[in-house]
Structure 1
Amino acid sequence: MTPASATDVSYEVLGFDQLDGWAEDDHADALKVFLNTCLDMKDPDWTALCNYAKAQPEPRQFFELFFRPVLIDDGQEALFTGYFEPELDGDRYRSARYRYPVYKMPNEALESNPWLTRRDILEGDVMAGRGLEIAWVDDPVELFFLQIQGSGRIKLPDGSRIRVGYRGSNGHPYRSIGVELVRRGVYQAHQVSAEVIKNWVRRNPALGRELLFHNPSYVFFREVSQVPSDQGPLGAMNRSVTAMRSIAVDPAFVELGAPVWIEKDGKNPLRRLMIAQDTGSAIKGAQRADVFFGTGDKAGQDAGKLRDPGRMIVLMPIQRAYALLPESAL
């Protein structure tokens, strides 16, 4: 795997004694999550490590013996945010209450990149009469944030639930409406959270609708109700992600399935071995990660507060780690 702008990227191999808090983590918990997706990694070095991990080695020794920590620097400051699996109220059929559609991906969006903008999709009639609706929900703001999270559950009137997962997007870049509110002077950066944004949009319906159109990106879903309710939503590797052990990363820099050591600073510092099992349209850069917090309102509140600096270090198979270094560093 080679990052898109490899000439601007540097690599530094670290020792495990340089990872703050490494000895105190629950390596067995991290190994369990690693095993959930490592079978899907096709490169021979990862396959060999996964096969060995299935034999239940001593977890900390496994990581220290077969991996090396690699700090990848692309010149951008590290940023950690959080995401979660929201639950919306909805129905299979449109009604006066449930009138905002959760769409499947149309063929045109698969074939054209980029396709229509958010405004084009929602204000035009391109989606009408095609049976592309998975469900209808009662809140356009919650639907907007469902698209940001990329997966969620829809609670139906009879108490049953539909689970939806990310299928694809219209190909337009993600633009933060929180950043836009700060630019307009509505809030200062430290005041912005998902709940603050939601409340502002609801208090200002006309302006709020236009604010949502500031983000041209539009996400389409697929139904994944076969995933058991006691497991997390499907990530980019088509496996369930795990609360506080799975992260979304930029796959241009971090191999999906790789262990990643997190040193998140801020109000509630976090030192933990995570597994890169997901991606996101807003997750771009070698030092950018989105921490999965779980399902429901409490997870959403915690995830929405997270916007902290720090650093992330990727654990790579030994030969792969040293192959990234220039000859002068060997």
Structure 2
Amino acid sequence: MSAVPFSVEPLAAYLRAQGLAGSEAVQVVPLSGGQSNPTFRVTVGENAYVLRKKPAGVLAPSAHAIDREYRVMNALQGTDVPVPRMRVYCEDDSIVGTPFYLMDFLQGRVFMDPALPGMEPAERSAIYREMGRVMAALHSIDLAAVGLGDYGRTGRYVERQIDRWSRQCRALSVPLDPAMLALMEWLPTHLPEGDETTLVHGDYRIDNLVFHPTEPRVIGVLDWELSTLGHPLADLAYHCMAWNVPPTLWRGMGGLDLPALGIPTEAQYLADYVAATGREVQGHWSFYMAYNLFRMAAILYGIAQRAADGSAASADAEETGRKAGPLARLGWEWAQRHAL
């Protein structure tokens, strides 16, 4: 485990000034996960917090927006979307080297594998019901009531995303799979009619949820870095990629015997979402799935480019980047299904 990249004493003094620490020793250890923004567990006596900070160095203006993470989780306090209690946001670079925020540490379970190995079917079923309930609640948040009406642009979310990722891909020097090129042409010409804007998480998946230590209950939704105002079905389809991507390719469970596992089929899961929100998902589902596979492929092509340039932070970046093509081909299969 890497060392803590800042002196603990200025942080301890800051916590004391904020009333979050007394005379107790302050201990800081790095946490895994949250790769984009360095994350640490801060222990003060019997209290435990999570510190999330910007990385050091020169950053793109919109990247590593921990102020947005803090804002959205603070706004969701007391709603049907469970989030950690937010403690403080600090812009003073002199404390830990960059701006940071502090929230309560959640003692619970994080599941990395969507197939939930080692569980009984009834346990898996309850976990998935709860995960779907929270997503429906997220897309039902009254933006004005919680002060998030200006949290992002309203309308044309998917169109803007397709344009953004297409431009990024065209700027790369790594070769793009023909399916990726086909998606870049097909998606802008098949945008669904109608539009809707809700709060979207942007990265809603099982390993970004903290469950109660023993109950099938979400106690915290984490990693809001990609959250904004957007189209709820785009957010839902991203989450549902897990049903359609095989575990050998990405974090998925495509091809597994879901009834035997006690995990709802995608159709059952979507039916529960429709019942909870009144929002219809049929008609354009294949478009939103194709769009999300395109988006994920675009992200992985960016990783492949960094691996080719020798600037990737992760040791497995080259292997990860090789998954972009298969994801694009899977996305093109969904696009052709939509056209039928």
TM-score, normalized by length of structure 2?
0.26
By percentage of residues, which structure has more helix?
2
Whose strand proportion is higher, 1 or 2?
A: 1
Return the structure number with greater relative CO, CA threshold 8 A, min gap 6. 1
TM-score normalised over the length of structure 1: 0.26
